[in-house]
Amino acid sequence: MSLLKYESQQREPLVDGDKNYHQVTEDIIGPIELKPTRLWYIGFWISVALLLFGVYSIYREVTYGIGQWNLNKTIGWGWDITNFVWWVGIGHAGTLISAILLLFRQGWRTGVNRAAEAMTIFAVMCAGQFPIWHMGRVWMAFFVLPYANTRGPLWVNFNSPLLWDVFAISTYFTVSLLFWYSGLLPDFATVRDRAKTKLRKLLYGIAAFGWTGSTKHWQRHESLSLVLAGLSTPLVLSVHTIVSFDFATSVIPGWHTTIFPPYFVAGAIFSGFAMVQTLLIVVRKVMNLQDYITMGHIEAMNKVIVLTGSIVGCAYLTELFIGAYYSQNLYEMYVFQENRANIFSPYGWSYWLMMFCNVVSPQLFWSRKLRRNIAVTFFMSIIVNIGMWYERFVIIVTSVYRDFLPSSWSTYYSPSIYEIGFYLGTFGLFFTCFFLFAKYFPVIALAEIKSILKTSGENYKAKMTDIERADAEKFYIEEVEHAH
Amino acid sequence: MNNHQFVLPGSYKKWTLILLIVGLLTIVYGFFAFDATAHGGHGQNVAATRFWAVLLQNSVYWLLLVNASMFFICVTTMAMGGWQVALRRVPEAISSVVPILGLITFIILLCIVLGHRTDIYHWLDAEAVAHDKILKAKSAFLSPGFYITWSAISIVLWSLLGRKMRKLSLDTDKNGTMDYETGKAWIWKNTVWASLYTVFFGLTVASTIPWIWLMSIDPHWYSTMYSWYVFASTFVASMSLIAIYIIYLRSKGQLEYVTDEHLHDIGKFMFAFSVFWTYLWFSQYMLIWYSNQPEETRYFVDRIGTAEKSGPFHGIFFLNLALNFLGPLLILMKKATKKSWTVVTLTAVMIIFGHWIDVFQMVMPGTLHEHAELGFFEFGSAAFFIGVIMWGVGRYITKNSLVPKNHPFMKESMIHHT
């Protein structure tokens, strides 16, 4: 083992500019210490307004019942569950970045993990709203918890994937929150130590849990990170797997297909990364963090998008081929041929919109030039999230709207204003949280950036030219064997 | 500094030869003793069915296994991986067997299809298809023409694209250390070819190929997960073979820049993809079990049977899970075991055998039904394919340097520690 700090110059630097540790602190903590800008206030209050609209929509739904929504007995799941799955999917990127990319030693995760994890947590909070309020009698919500109960023989249905969702999502939320917060401790301590006012010192001091930066703290912090990464890795897969079970365990054509679990996970990561792009492209510009969230970071995430988009594409085509042709099952074929692929059927357009957004358009990112284009990336990130919303809509609505009994077919479903309001309300919640996060939290993992600065910082890499040019075997003898 | 030119030890040559001869003898013996040309009706000439079913199982398994090591090279190339460079020649050597194994597999597939082995592929039976609404409707896909054409295209393109990747790697040995610009251009070229391979891999191994080669044995049955499951199965076996060769070559004093740190990472792949395979296994099984539709559950009833009557593959079914999930999970969980040569070798052998069993239980229930055996012919045939792989790998590692020393990421790989 060599202690040499070296990384090939073929890799782009992960921190641009002539940076030292102090400069990194200034760049990342600086914005927290300033007063919020006008733009921040505008954005924040718009979000709060949306949130309030959502609260009002929920108030209507709770007071007057689910009838406030346009669901009917055929389309029993509509916007609410579409939105639920969509938000849960978005909430996958953060933990993938912090856990799986940590295990894969992807250095670029350090620039984006903090914001992505925050986004994950907010997205899961939004997702949770939908099943909770869909219960109708929400004051009974605690009935989903299988506590040693006072309800006599009344237990939750352990056979139901909806119950597995309760366990999967709450576990995922808890572990993601712990992961995110434990990573924040050293950074909060830095903010505390730089604080000029008493209140600031007090609040950030509480948030930092008395972190002193002693070796002992670091040692425990690092083992905790590894343990949480190990725990989170299966969780990244399990949450959307179980969400897919909500559909796939049924006998409904279009829902019951064995490829659902891994394909849902790939789709979730796909949409999660798109949302990270949407947010970070704005954040890096507004907060002047282009040196830390570089073009290299954006390109790497676009590669993840083209990869997961293609995996999703492979699954769509597999499903279409098997469902519409190979199965030769009357009902499967009807769903795929008539309800989906037939563009002139009532919801055919949504199927092709989904295909275009999720499979065709990400293929643009095979081009390096487009991967590194901010405008294209931003536009694509929106397209992908529209596509992924439609994926869930297609799965949920087109599988059931013409069911086994033609008299109950419901070929027209459009959401009521309160369904839309509820959805907009979750945007309000999401962005309100994100604005607060961006203002009061270090949006980049300061301590982690420092840990890679000397291998991946532009100025440090520039000094590695001699090693880069050296013959590999000579390098080994001089640098590695001598180090022993 | 040595020139990294490996001379095959006598024992390696001896074992290659023994396996090849034993394998060939077994197959030739089987050909005559099992009356392999006998008409393949259903239930008649079971011995002939056994001959072709076993060859199908082995050729498909070993071919997809060696092909998966090129997939490993391509995905690590696209991900700009640095750590694996020092050991890269090992998967290259394994993938160099693709053309020859591909040819052997293709001949076997041709014999099955052109020889109208309806006992292997029921959809070859024109008369049965004519009276079967379902098979008739998909006869464009399940037809000798499509089967042969697509198999040929797949095998040829895997071979050619893989050869290009190996050539790009070997070319670096001729020139010295690359300067920045040359290195950049070289990495770019590699990435382009790796992408082409990977996309084609998705269109074949991750979708169509397992459908026609394996899933169509039970032609009425379908599962959208099937191909990804076959991919996971062969990929984890491929990682295990890479591990075995790394340890073998290290024990012979080769691969001097590959440390236990690299082996640790290969071990992580074996662990992770064993769990991934189980994940796909569980998803497929559980969803079919849960929704309990007769046309789907039939596949598992043929294997494990029902609550009343245990099926002929009951034992194999659970052995599959023990070898490919429980074993790797418990053994490879610890860091120390992933770095131990002995433990990794034994686990790798177990995984390779385990997935051979996995493909066995994909092929046999639909062809041989209760007549399947695990006897001299099954193991003897496997010996032949293992012999071919050993011969091909041996040829590659003696002809070429084992150290891609001019690879732009070689120095990163040398100082790699986990």
User: What ipTM describes this predicted complex?
Assistant: 0.93
H/E stretch holding A306 reads: helix A295-321
Q: Which residues of B touch A310 (CB under 8 A)?
A: 199, 202
Nearest CA in chain A to B83: A105
CB B89 within 8 A of CB B172: no
Contact A310 B202 (CB under 8 A): yes
Determine, for residues B410 and A472 on separate chains, whether the beta-carbon distance falls below 8 Å: yes
Question: Å from B409 to nearest chain A CA?
Answer: 6
pLDDT given for residue A7 in this prediction: 85
Picking from B78, B222, B261, the nearest residue to A322 by CB comes out as: B222
Q: For residue B410, list chain A residues with Cβ-Cβ distance below 8 A.
A: 472
Torsion angle of the four alpha carbons A292, A294, A296, A298, in this order, in degrees rounded to the nearest 10: 110
Query: Any idea what DSSP says for residue B159?
Result: H
Please answer yes or no on whether A261 and B133 come within 8 Å at the CB atom. Answer: no
- Would you state the pLDDT for residue B178? 86
Amino acid A157 reads: N
Per-residue pLDDT tens listing for chain A (484 residues) = 455 678 888 888 999 988 899 999 999 998 888 888 899 999 999 999 999 999 999 999 999 998 999 888 888 888 999 999 999 999 988 888 878 888 888 889 889 999 999 999 999 999 999 999 998 889 988 888 887 767 777 788 899 999 999 999 999 999 999 999 999 999 999 999 999 999 999 999 999 999 999 999 999 998 998 888 888 888 889 999 999 999 999 999 999 999 999 999 999 999 999 999 999 999 999 888 999 999 999 999 999 999 999 999 999 999 999 999 999 999 999 999 999 999 999 999 999 999 999 999 999 999 999 999 999 999 999 999 999 999 999 999 999 999 888 898 988 788 999 999 999 999 999 999 999 999 999 999 999 899 888 888 888 888 888 888 888 888 888 877 766 5
For residue B333, the distance in angstroms to the closest alpha carbon of chain A comes to: 11
pLDDT at A156: 85
Cα separation, B116 vs B102, whole angstroms? 21
Kindly determine whether residue A8 and residue B82, on different chains, have CB atoms separated by under 8 Å: yes
Contact (CB<8Å) B138/A11? no
Residue A20, judged by CB atoms within 10 A of its CB (0-12, 13-18, 19+), counts as middle
Instruction: Please give the angle made by the CA atoms of A12, A14 and A16, to the nearest 5 degrees.
Output: 90
Note the pLDDT of residue A3: 56
Start-to-end Cα distance in chain B: 26
Nearest C-alpha of chain B: how many angstroms from A467?
9
A37 DSSP assignment: P
Closest C-alpha to A100, from A243, A275, A230, A277: A230
Are the beta carbons of B120 and B56 closer than 8 angstroms? yes
| A388 Cβ under 8 Å from any chain B Cβ | no
Residue B311: predicted pLDDT: 87
pTM: 0.95
- Find the residue in A nearest to B75 (Cα): A307
d(CA B317, CA A294): 50
**pLDDT, position A445:** 92
**Cα(B299)–Cα(B281) distance, rounded to whole angstroms?**
13
Instruction: Tell whether A248 lies on the interface with B, counting CB pairs under 8 A.
Output: yes
* Residue A268, Cβ density class (10 Å: 0-12 exposed, 13-18 middle, ≥19 buried): buried
Nearest to A399 by CA among A250, A232, A227, A281: A250
Residue A404, chain B, CB below 8 Å: the answer is no
Q: Cβ contacts (< 8 Å) between B283 and chain A: which residues?
A: 241, 258, 260-262
Distance between CA atoms of residues A404 and A248, nearest Å: 18
B279 and A262: CB-CB below 8 Å? yes
User: Three-state DSSP class for A31?
Assistant: helix
Query: Taking CB atoms and an 8 Å cut-off, how many pairs form between chains A and B?
Result: 125
Report the distance separating Cα B227 and Cα A259, nearest Å: 9
Rg for chain A (alpha carbons), in Å? 25
Question: Nearest CA of chain B to the CA of A5: how many Å?
Answer: 9
Helix (H) or strand (E) holding B383: helix B376-399
Chain B contacts in chain A segment 261-300 (CB below 8 A)? 261-262
Q: What is the CATH number of domain A20-458?
A: 1.20.1630.10
Note the pLDDT of residue A132: 93
Which of A157, A259, A336 to probe the B interface (max B CBs under 10 A)?
A: A259
How many whole angstroms separate alpha carbon A267 and alpha carbon A282? 23
Q: What is the DSSP string of A68-136?
A: GS---SSS-SSHHHHHHHHHHHHTTHHHIIIIIHHHTT-TTHHHHHHHHHHHHHHHHHHHHHHHHHHTS
Question: Which residue does chain B place closest to A261, by CA atoms?
Answer: B283
Q: Which of B223, B293, B406 sits opposite A251 (nearest CB)?
A: B293
* Chain B residues with beta carbon closer than 8 angstroms to that of A262: 225, 228, 279-280, 283
Closest CB from A315, A328, A471 relative to B177: A471
Nearest to B15 by CA among B415, B404, B391, B393: B391
Segments in chain B below pLDDT 70: 1-4, 42-43, 418
CB A464 within 8 A of CB A14: no
B325 vs B275: CA distance, rounded Å: 6
Residue A320, helix vs strand vs coil: helix
Closest CA to A247 of A427, A84, A420, A67: A84
- Output the CA angle A39-A42-A48, nearest 5 degrees: 140
Q: Does A482 touch chain B (CB under 8 A)?
A: no
Residue A457: helix, strand or coil by DSSP?
strand
Interface probe, candidates A162, A395, A473, chain B, greatest B C-beta count within 10 A: A473
In three-state secondary structure terms, A440 is: helix
Report the C-alpha gap between A92 and A265 in whole angstroms.
8
Q: Which of A8, A14, A243, A331 best probes binding to B when mutated, by most B CB atoms within 10 angstroms?
A: A8
Q: A258, B224: Cβ pair inside 8 Å?
A: yes
Please tell me the predicted confidence (pLDDT) of residue B1.
42
Given this model, what pLDDT does residue A1 score? Answer: 41
Q: Find which of B214, B222, B296 to mutate to test the A interface (most A CBs within 10 Å of its CB).
A: B222
- Please give, rounded to a whole number of angstroms, the shortest distance from the CA of B185 to a CA of chain A: 10
Determine which of A6, A321, A326, A479 to mutate to test the interface with B (most B C-beta atoms within 10 Å). A326
